[in-house]
Amino acid sequence: MRYAHTMIRVKNLDASLAFYTEVLDMTETGRKDIGEEATLVYLGDDTEGKIVELTHNKDGREYTLGNQFGHLAFTTPDLEKLVKKIERRGLSYRRSRPELNSHYIFIKDPDGYDIEILQAKD
């Protein structure tokens, strides 16, 4: 068995695509339009196929983020370069606690999902 992807529902597909492709450098790897019901957009990184599925339901429904879901996590080869990019965009983030000797940040996507970005280990 292999992991396929994680699906998250988004309110504004364009804003979410901009966040995941421009901030997190993910690539759109596929798209499926389901008529009047929804649009599914698959995103991947430079090593995988479909990692995240953004689902935009077209009926205008509202979503409430539950407390059962934790976060999506990604690694980056250069966390400080990404932090500078995030700061230039005026986005807020939270750093790891220095005393833990960990190097990561948390940022929220346009729908409020927590995204953890860890410094990749050499």
What are the catalytic residues? 116
Please, where are the H alpha helices in the chain? Answer: 13-18, 79-88
Which residues, at least 6 apart from 9, have a Cβ–Cβ distance to it below 8 Å?
55, 56, 57, 63, 111
19 in Cβ contact with 107 (< 8 Å): no
> For residue 67, is it left (φ>0), alpha (ψ between -120 and 50) or beta?
alpha
15 in Cβ contact with 110 (< 8 Å): yes
